[in-house]
Structure 1
Amino acid sequence: MTESDAGNPARSVRDEDAFDVEAVSAWLRANAAPEFADTVAADPEVRQFPGGASNLTYLLRYPDRDLILRRPPVGRKAAGAHDMGREFRIQSALAPVFPYVPAMVGLCRDESVLGSDFYVMDKVEGTILRQDFPDSIELEPAAVTTLCRNAVDVLITLHQVDASRPDLAAFGKGEGYVARQVAGWSTRFRAARTEDIGDFEQVIAWLDRHQPTDVATCVIHNDFRFDNLVLDADDPLRVVGMLDWEMATLGDPLMDLGGAAAYWVQADDDEFFQLFRRQPTTAPGMWSRQELVDHYCEQMGFEMTPERWRFYEVFGLFRLAVIAQQIYYRYFHGQTHNEAYAVFGDAARYLERRCLEVLR
């Protein structure tokens, strides 16, 4: 097991997520990027990472290196979600100007190979933080603060990439990103709502009335968390990779920050919200959400007030609720039997209450 697997070790592939390994191997031998040709000449051992609840991620273990395969989940999918081609292309476009993306191996659009689109990339070796620091990493609070700053500075570096480059500009839809997000996530929630979940209509109406204009257009990750970063195995204060580009696009950077803050559980949050924690943001030395926002806005040159931030905070929580509900929808309707997904309904209910508390 490598350090990067420590908090989410690859396991045997679940029966419902299995695929034809020989067919995938044959496709890779014919289509992999030239620098990976020797690696994919052999057949891999295939394991599955159980973490994550959106796209499915597999470890392809070859004699000389490990690769990663990503594919959509089975069952009903939200329109526009789980676009493997987009995820592959945006990382390919970022590679020359943002050194934290993995090398791409190949994108397959032929659904006869695996049953869906999929892509394969190199595995970035290092440490991925999960809920808590692993035993192998012992950091004083001052070092944790340094790590926190270094991680957020990677997000800032991404937001400072020249989004007008032709290969990146193609991912944008022009001005009006905030409005499209409010409308889009509202539609996604209504499509994924189940009979046992509230309607969020008060939250949706408030977001619609209070949406600001875009502050800028840049490359945004849309899922920035410590468990989507890879740290240098020899220097855990240094970020060497950023993963999970499923929702990356061109858009408003403060919307990206709002999404990140929704996952940023801090030590004084209530007991239920602590159950959301997937990263060590309660460790001594970690920033609070306010410190996260203050550092980011100072570095990016944005003036921020508590009243102005409220929109981005509520939107981030609402978007997280929709993501939880989309996952729960698949479980509720029997499209997946992974019992880990059962709790996402409770998460959606809680997040509606939390949004309403922020609005009071």
Structure 2
Amino acid sequence: MTAIEDPTRPVREEDAFDIARVDAFLKQHIAGLEGTPAVTQFPGGASNLTYLLRYANRELVLRRAPRGAKAKSAHDMLREARVMAALRPSYPYVPAILACCDDADVIAQDFYVMERFDGSILRRDLPPALGLDRDDVRRLCTGFIDRLIELHHVDIAQAGLAALGKGEGYIARQVSGWSERWRQAATDGSDPCEDVLSWLDAQQPAHDNASCVIHNDYRFDNVVLAADDPLRIIGVLDWEMATIGDPLMDLGGSLAYWVQADDDPVFQSFRRQPTHVAGMLSRREVIAYYGERSGLDVANFGFYEVFGLFRLMVIIQQIYRRYALGQTTQPQFAGFGDAARYMGQRCRRIIAGMVA
């Protein structure tokens, strides 16, 4: 079996960079590169920008931040690269970092370049060419959760990542921080959602469940499946928001994207991974499986589920604000304001016990 290659497209004009400068920089830091790279852009991702660099003898992936206003702690490319380099010896699914650049004379922004995994990335629908039946899909799903649990068991001291954390109080910091980000991202017509913010503040657990490495954006479209075995995950991508924090917050963030077959049509329209197909675990089953395999108490998971949706709502609204201010022209962002309003309503429905 061959990989279902993740498609790329020509680089959008507003996302273009000086290829010759990047090429010269990379040849100073990576031995053996031949020719001039053909550069295309991965269409996925609404935050940082990702490009494929095809040299005559090697393929590389470049990551950089978008132009325009950024949240204070977001889009730190060099931090992401440092986390990945430190984590890779303990968690082999991390791509190898090959070069980092903080020289503004190259493309005016920090960037890094990493290895490209040869494998498949699942997007909205499950490719028939993978030939997965219901039992295969279930094994794929549980393997996906197992890789998250494995990450949560990485020894942070041995990995040299303890400094990423700020100690006890991760949940409280997240509730406070994302609430402030939400208020700062407001645009004309946005839902203030002060009732949701108040509920999160009142219902947050008094203590963190644990302190571990968390990915903070763990989804099927951020993992790479082996070309010769689509049930085996060989890579985990997009470590921008990785930190030391509470593992149930990480799971809650993942479930914000987990659209299942019986969800309402609006939520179905948001689906960007094949979590609806026969064999996939439901959100309730994911929570139960994670609790059983991790040993953590998931009996009162409602707070984490609501917070995960709320955080996604903030991210969507931040992107929409950039669009509304004319800092990006991508037409796909035009509906993000409506999407953020829907997420607020979904949070309320979960709080009211209306969503199973």
Band the TM-score falls in, shorter-chain normalisation: over 0.9
Q: Which residue of 1 aligns with 2:260?
A: 266
Task: Name 2:84's counterpart in structure 1.
Answer: 91
Look up the equivalent residue of 2:212 and give its one-letter code.
C
Residue 277 of structure 1: which of 248, 267, 271 is its match?
A: 271
Aligned equivalent of 1:310, options 278, 287, 302: 302
| Contact 2:3–2:228 (CA under 8 A) maintained in structure 1 | no
| Percentage of identical aligned residues | 57
Aligned-CA RMSD value: 1.1
Task: Say which of 321, 329, 350 aligns to 1:329.
Answer: 321
Matched, 1:67 2:65: no
Within the candidate set 335, 340, 348, 1:343 is matched to 335
Alpha-carbon distance in 1 for matches of 2:320, 2:297 = 37
2:118 is the alignment partner of 1:125: yes
- Alignment partners' CA distance in 2, 1:207 and 1:42: 54
Q: Residue 165 of structure 1: CA displacement?
A: 2.5
**1:3, distance to aligned residue in structure 2 (A):** 3.3
Partner of 1:26: 24
Per-residue CA deviation, residues 84-123 of structure 1 (Å, 9 max, x unaligned), is 0111011100111111011111111112211211000000
> 2:143 is matched with which residue?
150
TM-score where L is the length of structure 1: 0.95
Question: Is the contact made by 2:87 and 2:159 (CA closer than 8 Å) also made in structure 1?
Answer: no
Q: What CA distance in whole angstroms lies between the structure 2 residues aligned with 1:207 and 1:17?
A: 37
Contact between 2:69 and 2:322, CA under 8 Å: does it hold in 1? yes
Q: How much has 1:166 moved relative to structure 2?
A: 5.9
Structure 1 contact 4–230 (Cα < 8 Å) conserved: no
**3-state DSSP of counterpart to 2:130:** coil
1:246 aligns with 2:240: yes
Task: Report the Cα distance in structure 1 between the residues aligned to 2:110 and 2:36, rounded to whole angstroms.
Answer: 20
Offset at residue 167 of structure 1 (A) = 1.9
Q: Say yes or no: does 1:5 pair with 2:9.
A: no
Tell me how far 1:168 sits from its aligned partner: 1.0
Distance in 1 of aligned mates of 2:168 and 2:273? 33
Which AA in structure 2 matches 1:174? G
* Counterpart position of 2:172: 179
Paired residues of 2:8 and 2:52 also in contact (CA < 8 A): yes
Letter of the 2:21 counterpart: A
The structural deviation recorded for 1:304 is 2.2
Residue aligned with 1:324, SS: helix
Q: Distance in 2 between matches of 1:110 and 1:184?
A: 30
User: 1:348–1:140: structure 2 CA closer, same or farther, 3 Å change rule?
Assistant: same
Distance 2:26 2:43 in 1: 24
Contact kept? 2:319, 2:333, Cα under 8 Å: yes
The DSSP-based 3-state class of the residue aligned with 2:8 is coil
Which residue of the partner structure matches residue 231 of structure 2? 237
Alignment equivalent of 1:159, drawn from 147, 152, 155:
152
Unaligned runs of 5+ in 2: none
Once the two structures are TM-superposed, the CA of residue 61 in structure 1 deviates from its matched residue by 0.4
Q: CA deviation at 1:209?
A: 1.0
Tell me by how many angstroms 1:130 deviates: 0.5
Cα drift, residue 135 of structure 1: 2.8
- Partner SS for 2:229: coil
Query: Match of 1:82, SS?
Result: coil
Determine the structure 2 residue equivalent to 1:191.
184
Number of residue pairs matched by the alignment: 350
The answer to whether the Cα contact below 8 Å between 1:222 and 1:260 also exists between their aligned partners in 2 is: yes
Structure 2: how far apart are the matches of 1:344 and 1:219? 30
Counterpart residue number, 1:57: 50
Unmatched runs of 5 consecutive residues or more in structure 1: none
TM-score normalised to the size of structure 2? 0.96
